[in-house]
Amino acid sequence: MPQLRIAATLAGAFALGLAALAPGAGAQQRRVPSSVAELQLSFAPVVKRVAPAVVNVYAARVVENRNPFLDDPIFRQFFGAGIPRKQVERSLGSGVIVDPRGLIVTNYHVIEGASQVKVALADKREFDAKIVLKDHRSDLAVLRIEGAHERFSTLEFANSDALEVGDLVLAIGDPFGVGQTVTQGIVSAVARTQVGISDYQFFIQTDAAINPGNSGGPLVDINGRLVGINTAIYSRSGGSQGIGFAIPANMVRVVVASAEGGSTTVKRPWLGAKLQEVTPGIAESLGLARPTGALVASLVPGSPAARAGIKTGDLIVSIDGTPVDDPDAFDYRFATKALGGDARVGLLRQGKPAAATVALQSIPDTPREEIEISSNSPFRGATVANLSPALADELRLDPQTRGVVIVRVTEGSAASTIGFQKGDIVVSVNHQKMVRPSDLARIARAGSRLWRITISRGGQQISMMVSG
């Protein structure tokens, strides 16, 4: 079966690619192709202009050595002295300088869990880099070059909404570590949703060869402007098969703007509504010719959507005049709006056109209480938190849900072995309702021979019994 693979873990810069002599030419004058008739010319001018702004990203992280023999005290006594409990993993990726002061954008998964990050410029100089912002929801991160007192070359942002199927693009990276490489192709599709890479499912698809090693590298147009950040491939073999995905530049711009403003997190507009995909059956019941739009399934009282007059059962069909095909498309369009203004949301209400003006405000957050469960229980290794509207939005849960939610699960822990996942809501343990993280921590410390656990996952309740 084909698999979606993150195009990460190898370095990314690039070198010269396509170059061919024009018919009858002697010493070729190189320039960007400006018409179909000039496609025999070279993309080298674009590559030369873009090259100084692309960097390699080297990330190091300390991981636990999960050798099962180390749990045996006899093995540790005789053989385990030379086996380190912890080891350093290193990953390589790409990045793009987007601010002359040394701000670099890359993929979140390239630097996830990193304790040390270095970057190498196109001229081979290396610098330490500081992680200034991580945004797992968009799979983007922003770094800052440390210890440099100069202005760096940058890439200009393109308007990725203006990108069209058939536009020429260049993908840049170091596939499989073979060396600096540039590949050329076209935009195969825009607004790809249902891809499953990050929370915001709205990707540029390209047939330019993207392979492991391209993560964080730029996808540029023939004017050398950044149209996207290469992120993943769809592949049967692990190599490029002509289906690659890039995060649109307009989403990248939002994340970079937050970092430039000094924030360590990305503040986005909050709708305060749970949206549902329109199935063929729902479309027929609403009198639609085809499934389209985002159906409002529920609302948070007092949220921007509620204050704007949006109601449960409304069908969102556009935002500021741009059609919306599904909830993912709306999420992307809404998330790339600037805070402080308004958005005009087009609706169908009981089959009739309507509209609502939604204030673009960030989500209110309550103090987050996080507790890592370390007691000997089925939850050992899980970190739980109180489910606020902000956390519900981050985890893409029903915005009205309250309770105790799992936000992290340590690999190899008891919680991981049982199968608990990030986003699971712990409803009850041993017939006691879980309201606060401290409730779960208390009952985990008390211990039990038999654990009766009920969780909510994906809107469904799951009950289990686990021996102590």
Per-residue pLDDT, averaged over 155-179, amounts to: 86
Q: How far apart are the first and last CA of the chain?
A: 38
| Confidence category of residue 435, pLDDT binned at 50, 70, 90 | very high
> Is 142 a domain residue?
yes
The verdict on 332 and 440 lying in the same domain is no
Cα→Cα distances 22→37, 167, 294, Å:
10, 22, 50
**Is residue 39, in this structure, part of any structural domain at all?**
yes
103-151 pLDDT, tens digit per residue, is: 999 999 999 988 899 998 988 899 999 999 999 889 999 999 998 889 9
Dihedral angle, C-alpha 133, 138, 139, 144, nearest 10 ° = -30
Burial of 90 per CB tally in 10 Å (0-12, 13-18, 19+): exposed
For the ranges 1-5, 135-139, 357-361, 457-461, the maximum mean pLDDT occurs at 357-361
**Residue 301 lies inside a defined structural domain of this protein:** yes
For helices 249-260 and 327-335, the axis angle rounded to 10 degrees is: 40
Asked if residue 26 has pLDDT above 70, the reply is no
Q: Looking at the structure, do residues 427 and 350 belong to the same domain, yes or no?
A: no
413 is known as an active-site residue? no
Per-residue pLDDT, 292: 95
Q: What digits encode the pLDDT tens for the residues 7-18?
A: 544 333 333 333
Q: What are the CA-CA distances from residue 130 to residues 105, 115, 127, 377 (Å)?
A: 12, 10, 10, 37
My answer on whether 288 and 351 are in the same domain is yes
Looking at 209, 244, 266, the residue that finishes a domain is: 266
Q: What is residue 455's predicted lDDT score, i.e. its pLDDT?
A: 95
Q: What distances in angstroms separate CA 423 from CA 73, 87, 89, 406, one per listed residue?
A: 35, 29, 27, 5
Half-sphere exposure of 262 (CA within 13 A, CB side): 0
pLDDT at 28: 45
Catalytic residue among 42, 91, 109, 393: 109
Question: Is a pLDDT exceeding 50 seen at residue 5?
Answer: yes
Q: Are residues 249 and 286 in the same domain?
A: no
Instruction: Provide the pLDDT for residue 446.
Output: 92
Residue-level pLDDT at 20:
37
**Of 215, 235, 318, 388, catalytic:** 215
435 assigned to some structural domain: yes
Task: State residue 15's pLDDT score.
Answer: 32
Overall average pLDDT of the 417-438 stretch: 94
Average pLDDT over residues 299-324: 95
Band (pLDDT 50/70/90 cuts) for residue 30 is: low
- Mean pLDDT calculated for residue range 25-41: 58
Exposed / middle / buried, residue 195 (Cβ in 10 Å: 0-12, 13-18, 19+)? middle
Asked whether residue 216 falls in the same domain as residue 322, the answer is: no
Q: Tell me what the mean pLDDT of segment 208-212 comes to.
A: 78
Number of structural domains in the chain: 3
Q: Report the mean per-residue pLDDT for the chain.
A: 84
Q: Where are the alpha helices (DSSP H) in 237-324?
A: 249-260, 280-285, 304-307
Instruction: Indicate whether 364 belongs to any domain.
Output: no
Nearest residue to 400 (alpha-carbon basis) of 295, 267, 271, 272: 272
Catalytic annotation on 139?
yes
CB count within 10 Å of CB 287 equals 9
Q: 257 and 278: one domain?
A: no
Asked if the structure places residue 365 within a domain, the reply is no
Angle at 382 between CA 376 and CA 388, to 5 degrees: 130
Domain range for residue 414? 370-467
Q: Which residue, 336, 359, 382, sits at the end of a domain?
A: 359
Does residue 79 form part of some domain? yes
DSSP 165: T
Give me the pLDDT at residue 63, please.
63
295 and 177, same domain (yes or no): no
At 366-380, the pLDDT tens digits run 778 899 999 999 999
Q: Are residues 330 and 432 in the same domain?
A: no
Residue 240 has pLDDT above 70, yes or no: no
CATH number of the domain to which 74 belongs:
2.40.10.120
Q: Please write the tens of the pLDDT for every residue from 341-367.
A: 999 999 999 999 999 999 999 988 777
Judgement on whether residues 210 and 334 belong to the same structural domain of the protein: no
> 11 near 215, Cβ under 8 Å?
no
CATH code of residue 404: 2.30.42.10
- Catalytic residue, from 94, 135, 138, 139: name it: 139
Do residues 101 and 234 share a domain?
yes
Whether 326 is catalytic is no
pLDDT at position 18 is 35
* pLDDT (0 to 100) of residue 214: 81
Q: Is-contact 348 333, C-beta < 8 A?
A: no
How high is the pLDDT of residue 234?
Answer: 66
Q: Give the tens place of pLDDT for each residue, 261-299.
A: 898 889 899 999 989 999 999 999 999 999 999 999 999
Does residue 391 register a pLDDT over 80? yes
318 with 431, same domain: the answer is: no
Residues 169 and 249 in one domain: yes
Phi, psi of 451 (to 5 degrees): -110, 125
* The last residue of a domain, from among 231, 266, 301: 266
- Does a structural domain hold residue 77? yes
In angstroms, the CA 154 to CA 53 distance is: 5
